[in-house]
Amino acid sequence: MARQGDTVAGRYLLGERIGYGGMGTVWRATDRTLNRQVAVKELRVTDEPSEDDRRVQADRALREARSAARIKHPNVVTLHDVIVGPDERPWLVMELVEGRSLGQLLSADGPLPPREAARVGAALASALGAAHARGVLHRDVKPANVLLERGTGRVVLTDFGIAQLPDGTALTVAGEFVGSPEYTAPERMTGEPATPACDMWSLGVLLYAAVTGRSPFRRDAIAAVLHAVLHAPVIPPPGTGRLGPVIGRLLERDAAARPAAPQAARLLASAASAPEPEPERPAPAAPDGPPAPPTAEAAAASRTVSTPSRPNTVPRPAAPRADTPSPDPTPSPSPALSVSPAPSPSLSSTSSTPPPTPAPAAPAPSSAPTPPPTPPPVPRRGSRVAGAVAAAVVLLAAGGTAGVLAAWHGGGGDRARGTPSDAAHPPGSGTAPAGFRYVHDAAGFALDVPDGFTRSPQPPRVFYLSAGQAFRLGIRRQKPDASGPYGVMTAEADAAAHPSGTPPYPGYRDGSVTRTTHAGQAAAQWEFTWNGFGDGPRRTYDLCWNRDGVMWDVWVSAPLDRLDDGLRYFDAATGSFTSNG
């Protein structure tokens, strides 16, 4: 490794070390020929590099040089020269950006105000747009690779060392994983090739980290990170004004639904010019418990809206259907059901669950501390992904991140956008995992219900409610509509966006309707956040599908601070659901 005072190529006098990472060391240096300050990057090599090591490092240097040289943009670092020394060690000479990285700033000063984060994001989106237009994919967008120039505030995207060039080549051997897992798009976790949409996902994670101080997928173990990227609910951080919905769109797990770089740049520029949002205030609790929902609820809930299906776009925040159960702290159990007791936990019931948290009913988020709730997820896939996570961990333990993609790619045809039905035991098995009971309901269905939940029929739904109604599980059956589940969900969301009376869900926000499948049938999932009836903010999940001449939907509502449990109940209910006419 070089030292301060060394001269590179007889021209660049090394000063202090100003950066260090997995790719190498960055030095402040003086260009003696032009008498200017520059940044010189010394790429890392092993102590006793083999011929292959030297080739890879030389290729990396040339790749970074060629990638940066293709892009002429004020928010992309300027490359001056590339040098290979007598010892075949590669060096890059770049413009010196006086300032700190975004990662250093967040670590030292904490999160950015939403408008400043949007300004940074707009500059990065513009830079990525220029790169994508030249056929360059960055593949490692993260706070450490973003510099903020002191005095001017200029945003500079750096480190194109693992970029992919237009010829399709990338500095990756077969099965090797490149990039930072918690900033990596879910489709890359499943072995799909990198696309511009992958960079946009990474930008979304970066923006989330910019306003909260951490990635929404940060966990203590790599297995938990991978699981979170594929499954963790991603709700835009509150109090971020116009920036929140943009983050939500960038973090769509359906890559085709993410905005391209030019559109994202426009959206972020608009968010940067908007007034700074005021902090959200929690809704005051009612003195005697949650009030009854508005009387218009029943009529809205029983209405089937017929609207032709539209392309899957991110909907406007909208008021939801009025399907919430009316407050009834002590609903009486219905006699018209039978219950199968839950079996004792066994190895087979948990063997497909991803470490570190065994979850018998469904793949559960990691037991590591969960960051603030974060943009609406698409339905989560189940045991096959769990097995892939376990395989990835074995490979990571053996040799770092290399080999992760090979394990994921060989895990079958599932995608991160799989159906919730994979998450529980086989439908109709008549058994339930620990903590649940298998219920045959007189309304013509059977499913896993969490222990302690009591039945409360409230047409058009049959509800199962936890003590105090912190968690609410509802099942509705109705006649199929010509527009299909997605058309019905979308039309109801749109209709609820402009309620004729008092909105049934106060503070409705962050709504989305997503196409998916369930039990082999076309399905749609509606998700949204709202303030609750005096009991604090909540997240609601509603899966709708047709089967045997009936349109079913399964609905779960949970407090925002207990989403892990809510998603576990939702996965168990949808995964075990069967109907009998």
What is the rounded CA–CA span in Å between residue 204 and residue 248?
8
Which pLDDT belongs to residue 330?
39
Say whether pLDDT at 482 is over 70.
yes
Q: Residue 64: in which H helix or E strand, if any?
A: helix 51-70
Which pLDDT belongs to residue 538?
87
Answer yes or no: are the C-beta atoms of 353 and 389 closer than 8 Å.
no
Say whether pLDDT at 161 is over 80.
no
Which pLDDT belongs to residue 576?
92
Residue 472 burial (10 A CB sphere; 0-12, 13-18, 19+): buried
Say whether pLDDT at 440 is over 70.
yes
Which pLDDT belongs to residue 141?
95
Which pLDDT belongs to residue 468?
84
Instruction: Tell me the pairing of strands 337-340 and 538-547.
Output: unpaired
Q: Classify domain 7-95 by CATH number.
A: 3.30.200.20
Q: Residues at the annotated binding site?
A: 41
What is the rounded CA–CA span in Å between residue 300 and residue 279?
32
3-state secondary structure 137-173: ECCCCCHHHEEEECCCCCEEECCCCCCECCCCCECCC
Q: Residue 21: in which H helix or E strand, if any?
A: strand 12-21
Structure tokens, 194 = 């990198």
Residue spans of the domains in the chain: they are 7-95, 99-273, 296-336+427-579
Q: Indicate the range of 15-29, 110-124, 182-196, 289-303 predicted with least confidence.
A: 289-303
Identify the CATH assignment for 296-336+427-579 out of 2.40.40.20, 3.40.50.920, 3.40.1000.10, 3.40.718.10.
3.40.1000.10
Q: Indicate the range of 130-144, 330-344, 404-418 predicted with least confidence.
A: 404-418
Q: Residues at the annotated binding site for ATP?
A: 41
Q: Which of 163, 249, 253 is nearest to 207 (CA)?
A: 249
Which pLDDT belongs to residue 463?
95
Average pLDDT over residues 264-281: 79
What is the rounded CA–CA span in Å between residue 567 and residue 558?
8
Say whether pLDDT at 569 is over 90.
yes
What is the rounded CA–CA span in Å between residue 577 and residue 581?
13
SS3 94: strand
Which pLDDT belongs to residue 493?
79
Any idea which residue has 């060690």 for tokens?
Answer: 89
- Of 62 and 234, the one with more pLDDT: 234
What is the rounded CA–CA span in Å between residue 117 and residue 122?
9
**High-pLDDT (> 90) share of the chain, %:** 38
At position 276, the amino acid (one-letter code) is E
- Of 491 and 342, the one with more pLDDT: 491
Confidence class of residue 578 from pLDDT cuts 50, 70 and 90? very high
What is the rounded CA–CA span in Å between residue 548 and residue 199?
42
Which pLDDT belongs to residue 239?
86
Which pLDDT belongs to residue 160?
75
- Of 147 and 535, the one with more pLDDT: 147
Q: What is the mean pLDDT of the chain?
A: 73
Residue 296 burial (10 A CB sphere; 0-12, 13-18, 19+): middle
Answer yes or no: are the C-beta atoms of 114 and 139 closer than 8 Å.
no
Distance of CA 224 to the CA centre of its chain: 13
Say whether pLDDT at 553 is over 80.
yes
What is the rounded CA–CA span in Å between residue 373 and residue 237?
7
Average pLDDT over residues 225-234: 89
Which pLDDT belongs to residue 237?
84
HSE-up (13 A, CA, CB side) for residue 116: 14
41-58 residue pLDDT tens = 887 665 555 666 666 666
Structure tokens, 260 = 């391209």
Which pLDDT belongs to residue 556?
96
Evaluate if pTM is beyond 0.85.
no
Using alpha carbons, list the distances in angstroms from residue 220 to 15, 144, 198, 382, 563.
36, 19, 23, 21, 19
What is the rounded CA–CA span in Å between residue 544 and residue 476?
9
Q: Residue 37: in which H helix or E strand, if any?
A: strand 36-43
What is the rounded CA–CA span in Å between residue 27 and residue 38?
8
232-250 residue pLDDT tens = 888 878 889 899 999 999 9
Answer yes or no: are the C-beta atoms of 305 and 492 closer than 8 Å.
yes
What is the rounded CA–CA span in Å between residue 460 and residue 477?
8
Q: Which of 35, 37, 88 is nearest to 61 (CA)?
A: 88
Confidence class of residue 416 from pLDDT cuts 50, 70 and 90? very low
Q: Indicate the range of 311-325, 484-498, 507-521 predicted with least confidence.
A: 311-325
Answer yes or no: are the C-beta atoms of 113 and 192 closer than 8 Å.
no
Which pLDDT belongs to residue 166?
57
Answer yes or no: are the C-beta atoms of 580 and 337 closer than 8 Å.
no
Confidence class of residue 134 from pLDDT cuts 50, 70 and 90? confident
Average pLDDT over residues 7-33: 86
Say whether pLDDT at 315 is over 90.
no
Residue 140 known to be catalytic? yes
341-382 residue pLDDT tens = 333 333 233 333 333 333 333 333 333 344 444 333 333 333
Q: Which of 225, 577, 224 is nearest to 423 (CA)?
A: 577
Say whether pLDDT at 37 is over 80.
yes
Q: Which of 140, 323, 494, 553 is catalytic?
A: 140
**Residues recorded for the chain:** 581
Q: Does domain 99-273 have CATH number 1.10.510.10?
A: yes
SS3 132: helix
Confidence class of residue 433 from pLDDT cuts 50, 70 and 90? confident
